[in-house]
Structure 1
């Protein structure tokens, strides 16, 4: 979808939420907090994947275990599902975080999980440099809660399930595993695994520096989105 369509839809999206927040910190937080990283996520990940902002809420207020307000970057609330989405930059969430802030963040996330929220975080660097990976990860998560709005290709569904299979097999998968899991031939299994390698999800692994690939390992960082 064109950038122009995104800009118009995004302007209306934020405008609609500003109208609902007439005053106070909830409005101020939206005005101050919805900045470059959040807009980049919407432009490069959410909009290409979903095509609209239905049921998505920017700078969504929740209460932590201390009774204090906390604003998640986004909340997706399609009904009984409560999904919080965070875009985390290295400097603000790692380099500049002291021990107390680190403990508070973990406690907050654990508390929100206990209160029925599902929390997923994307690294800013991935949003900026590898949006396709973020899109696929997000689609895998959203796909657990609702059917696709449009028919998904057989290859897309097979690739997503192959990643889940690799996770279940402690991070690596062989062509034979894919053959048995999907009841397909060897060529189809290898083609699927190579496609996932080209997208940055898997890395080929050979035995004793031989050329023949014997298994495929999950790329570094993939499992972080499922922890």
Structure 2
């Protein structure tokens, strides 16, 4: 699936889990800038939304609820990502609100989050720069978790993912049986596990009656695991 379908599925999952103010904040707060970041930066970088939480509620130093645009928690690390527009954040004449915003960012770091500020204007004019900077920032965390990520997959599963990635992202079970010289039942069992882990997605035939192939879901860590 492409960005539009995956973004909608991801957003719907989060909405189903929320009620009250948390749901209202997600519906109101996930606006144009947040969607632009998801489409032009996060999707090209990762190809999925695993571990990414929109309008994530945290408490500030006063114990009051505060919603961060995005929080990414792939493991032991936590990143708080804020989309910063020029008007609200630079020309803000409410000095009390401006001080509180700065204090919240400091408190987030005390609470164990690494705070990332993304310029809204760059999302439209220079998303490649944001991708490059974010990739360099997140690289150490991704490498730290690479062994754990690799441990989630058996040797056979990694071989299946490797072949799928090299087959333009689409693979048939028969291709895996021939390419890995494996028993069809073994291949089917591992494909099922990879679908459960979100690494493969079934692709229905033209009439929608059978599953003849699977789509590979890219993970940026694959660059280090394969």
Q: Give the Cα separation in 1 of the matches to 2:4 and 2:93.
A: 33
Question: How many matched pairs?
Answer: 148
TM-score normalised to structure 2 length:
0.63
Residue number in structure 1 paired with 2:202 = none
Listed one character per residue, the Cα deviations across residues 43-67 of structure 1 (whole Å, up to 9, x for unaligned) are: 0000001000000000000000011
Residue number in structure 2 paired with 1:14 = 11
How does 1:35-50 map onto structure 2 within 5 Å? 35-50=31-46
Q: 2:76 aligns with which of 67, 80, 100?
A: 80
Listed one character per residue, the Cα deviations across residues 179-222 of structure 1 (whole Å, up to 9, x for unaligned) are: xxxxxxxxxxxxxxxxxxxxxxxxxxxxxxxxxxxxxxxxxxxx
Listed one character per residue, the Cα deviations across residues 160-197 of structure 1 (whole Å, up to 9, x for unaligned) are: xxxxxxxxxxxxxxxxxxxxxxxxxxxxxxxxxxxxxx
Residue number in structure 2 paired with 1:56 = 52
How does 1:113-152 map onto structure 2 within 5 Å? 113-147=109-143, 149-151=221-223
1:95 maps onto 2:88 in alignment? no
1:106 maps onto 2:102 in alignment? yes
TM-score normalised to structure 1 length:
0.63
C-alpha displacement of 1:97: 4.0
Q: Give the Cα separation in 2 of the matches to 1:151 and 1:42.
A: 21
Listed one character per residue, the Cα deviations across residues 70-110 of structure 1 (whole Å, up to 9, x for unaligned) are: 10000001111111000011111111242212211111111
Instruction: Say which SS state the counterpart of residue 52 (structure 1) adopts.
Output: coil
Q: Give the Cα separation in 1 of the matches to 2:10 and 2:111.
A: 27
Unaligned runs of 5+ in 2: 144-219
Q: Give the Cα separation in 1 of the matches to 2:36 and 2:141.
A: 25
- Equivalent pair of 2:60/2:107 in contact (CA under 8 Å): yes
- Runs of 4+ aligned structure 1 residues displaced above 3 Å come to none
Q: Give the Cα separation in 1 of the matches to 2:138 and 2:94.
A: 33
Unaligned runs of 5+ in 1: 153-227
Residue number in structure 1 paired with 2:21 = 25
User: What RMSD over aligned residues (CA atoms) do the two structures have, in Å?
Assistant: 1.3
Residue number in structure 2 paired with 1:190 = none
